[in-house]
């Protein structure tokens, strides 16, 4: 069962702009404390200041929420169970106490309740050596299947970005660069890979979203580069990623275990600068998403 929070339900009923937010990034599974709490505060504030209503998604006592009430948001900060799209029905049926939602779960929830824009830090994608492991994030298919515009700083930097873009093309997901011709690499503004489309304002994104909705097509990925002031050194990040992947291989980690291990290595290698970068890009994405949601509401 999906319960829509009072403020979000009221906004949807009058076609006011709403932005869905995942909750994994706001738990210690996504960011260390107290940065996770700061991220939640900054992202929700950015959405509101841009004229939209934030809708935090999560599972609490088996209830799937779209617009978790403020008094319950403390629960997600310390949650230790991650819920992807495949897990939503199970978590609800088993009355999971607290489960934080991933990109794929949040996109499913948003689409079910009529929220058309979702903001996150970075999506999952095709993992390196996927031709052997078959490890491809459910985020990609969720975006393809559901008519939600997803705003992110590209995909996680340690993924196979060329294959991620190829997979999105195969699944008919348009990748649009926000004021850029290049696909962002999370901590850096460019991966060196081109995007097929570029937009320079929120209204253009809204028009694309509405056109795809009218055609009965799936979602769109809006790739927003990390703000210039928060961008990290590309070489330093690349070295940290390689070390993290070596540790993943040595410890024989698979699936959901990979991302936290690599992110921890990046945080260590950057002396915590990666956390600050994550905060900045998540906040920026939330602001851009809200602007797009406002334009969609006006259309």
Q: Which residues are known to be catalytic?
A: 22, 156
| CA pair distance 224, 149, nearest whole angstrom | 12
| CA pair distance 31, 25, nearest whole angstrom | 6
Strand extents, DSSP E, the chain: 2-4, 18-21, 53-60, 63-66, 82-83, 98-101, 117-119, 149-152, 175-178, 197-199, 220-223
Strand extents, DSSP E, 67-116: 82-83, 98-101
| CA pair distance 185, 99, nearest whole angstrom | 28
Q: What is the CA radius of gyration of the chain?
A: 18
Q: Which helix (H) or strand (E) holds 88?
A: helix 88-93
Strand extents, DSSP E, 174-279: 175-178, 197-199, 220-223
User: Phi/psi zone of residue 133: left (φ > 0), alpha (ψ -120 to 50 degrees), beta?
Assistant: alpha
First-to-last C-alpha distance (Å) of the chain: 30
| CA pair distance 18, 12, nearest whole angstrom | 7
């Amino acid at each position: 069962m999906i319960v829509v929070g009072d403020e979000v339900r009221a906004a949807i009923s009058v076609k006011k702009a709403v932005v869905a937010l995942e909750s994994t990034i706001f738990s210690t599974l996504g960011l260390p404390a107290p940065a996770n709490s700061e991220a939640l505060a900054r992202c929700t504030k950015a959405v509101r200041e841009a004229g939209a209503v934030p809708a935090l998604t999560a599972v609490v006592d088996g209830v799937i929420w779209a617009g978790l009430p403020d008094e319950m948001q403390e629960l997600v900060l310390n949650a230790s169970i991650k819920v992807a799209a495949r897990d939503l029905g199970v978590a609800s049926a088993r009355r999971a106490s607290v489960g934080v939602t991933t990109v794929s779960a949040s996109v499913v929830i948003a689409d079910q309740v009529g929220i058309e824009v979702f903001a996150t830090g970075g999506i999952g994608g095709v993992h390196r050596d996927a031709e052997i492991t078959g490890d491809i994030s459910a985020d990609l298919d969720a975006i393809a299947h559901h008519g939600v515009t997803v705003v992110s700083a590209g995909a996680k930097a340690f993924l196979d970005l060329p294959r991620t873009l190829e997979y999105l093309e195969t699944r008919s997901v348009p990748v649009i660069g926000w004021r850029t011709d290049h696909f962002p690499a999370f901590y850096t503004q460019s991966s060196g890979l081109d995007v097929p489309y570029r937009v320079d304002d929120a209204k253009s994104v809204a028009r694309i979203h509405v056109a795809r909705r009218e055609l009965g097509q799936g979602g769109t990925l809006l790739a927003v580069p990390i703000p210039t002031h928060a961008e990290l050194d590309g070489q330093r990040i690349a070295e940290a990623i390689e070390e993290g992947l070596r540790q993943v291989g040595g410890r024989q980690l698979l699936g959901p275990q990979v991302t936290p291990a690599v992110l921890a290595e990046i945080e260590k290698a950057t002396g915590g600068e990666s956390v600050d970068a994550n905060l900045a890009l998540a906040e920026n994405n939330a602001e851009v998403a809200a602007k797009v949601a406002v334009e969609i509401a006006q259309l």
